[in-house]
Amino acid sequence: MLIGKLTDDDRFKVDYYREHRKERMSMCDWLDKVENRSIAEGEKRRAIATANSMFDDGFTVEQVVKYTKLSVAEATEILTNRKAVQPV
């Protein structure tokens, strides 16, 4: 509740109580979990941005997968979506 009050953001309170009901955990454990999830989301965004740059430079899906650690399906989806929105 303190984090919610300090940040004026109720997501912390809702997320904590949702997680707390599933299993007993301390606030420190919960914050570690939130931090790790945020780090993973940031890494994913960076991988997607890198994939887009690589596709701009003519790299193949296989090369993008090798360097970004995205799955083949994820890299293919990024490439497909890029082709769908590029002007004719």
Give the three-state DSSP class for 85.
helix
Contact 55, 67 (CB under 8 A): no
Which residues form the domain of 23? 2-85
**Segment 4-28, tens digit of pLDDT:** 677 777 666 666 666 666 677 677 8
Q: How many structural domains compose the chain?
A: 1
8 A C-beta contact, residue 79 and residue 61: yes
pLDDT, tens only, 40-59: 999 999 999 999 999 999 99
**Cα–Cα distance, 31 to 12 (Å, whole number):** 10
Q: What local confidence, expressed as pLDDT, does residue 6 receive?
A: 75
